[in-house]
Amino acid sequence: MILTVTLNPALDKTLEVADNPPLATIRATRVMEMAGGKGINVARAAVRMGCEARCLAPLGGRSGQAVADLANAEGLELLAVELTGNTRSAITVRDRSSDRYWHYLEPGPEWSEAETATLRETFARSIRSAERAVLSGSLPSTGAEETAAWMVSTAQESKRPIALDSFGPWALQSLQGGLWLTKPNLEEWVRTTGMAVDTPAQQRAAVSRMLEWGVGVAVLSAGSAGAWVGCESGVYRVHPPRVTEVNDLGGGDAMVAGFCVAAARRLGAEDAIRLAAACGAANAEVWDPCGIDATRVDQLVGEVRLERA
């Protein structure tokens, strides 16, 4: 079982509009809502790939209840910690005339000391029955940084592999502490470490640095240029399949889920990388973040090209 942690979940709402001109009253032609947040996305993709997953998330207010209801409706197992503050909303406006979209994120709520204690207790209890854990996404406040770092160290003390996909200066110590997996993109790497990744040589060096820090699977995602992956078998430049992109939101979450699924299936390093890259490509073909189809992932696996770097 995979335990995913989303410390800053969201009610994810998409408004589809026929056109999105400025200074106009625009009426949506379609509204979609789903449980949002990177850890919840990871769980969604993992479940769709046949793995059991539980989602730990602090939720509050009417928006938090809506997230819980939507997660339960799609069959996700949710471990909700109740907050007095309101869960944020994430609003996407999708312009069908141009197929462009705009993504707006509200700030997350502050946690009280009692809420923080309950969140930690729930994590400590839940990690015991998990095979591995994933901590993903932004943090609602600077006060959450200490709890996020504590969760990483608690998982490690419990001998549970943990993936970290949440970045900023606070995460540097966790990165240097021997994670199972981490997956910064180029911007997140610079924001966390201050090290440049403008060239392929610098990007490869970043992956090598993560391996030196004891990261088991070091992934540096480079957007349309693919990704770099380092593991015990070496460093690879990953060239994903070419697909018709509908929405790039959630691609990294799908990759993380792919590595979790690969670990559950006990796949070798190269097969694991191919599966993760195929999950990311399948995500790009659908609108819902991590609403991937396992059959489509299987079709794309063979189209992933790995280059030893």
- pLDDT at res. 109: 95
Cβ contact 191:167 at 8 Å: yes
- What b/e string do you get for 290-309 counting C-beta neighbours within 10 Å, with b at 16 or more? bbbeeebbeebbeebebeeb
Q: Name the architecture of domain 2-308.
A: 3-Layer(aba) Sandwich (3.40)
Alpha helix segments (H runs only) across 220-268:
251-264
DSSP string, 4-58: EEESS-EEEEEEEES---TTS----SEEEEEEESHHHHHHHHHHHTT--EEEEEE
- pLDDT at res. 268: 97
* Domain locations in the chain as residue ranges: 2-308
The length of the chain in residues reads: 309
What does pTM read for this prediction? 0.95
Rounded to whole angstroms, the Cα distance separating 243 from 241 reads 6
Q: Write out the chain's pLDDT in tens, 309 residues.
A: 999 999 999 999 999 999 999 998 999 999 999 999 999 999 999 999 999 999 999 999 999 999 999 999 999 999 999 999 999 999 999 998 888 889 999 999 999 999 999 999 999 999 999 999 999 999 999 889 999 999 999 999 999 999 999 999 999 999 998 899 999 999 999 999 999 999 999 999 999 999 999 999 999 998 778 899 999 999 999 999 999 988 888 999 999 999 999 999 999 999 999 999 999 999 999 999 999 999 999 999 999 999 998
End-to-end CA distance of the chain: 33
- pLDDT at res. 40: 98
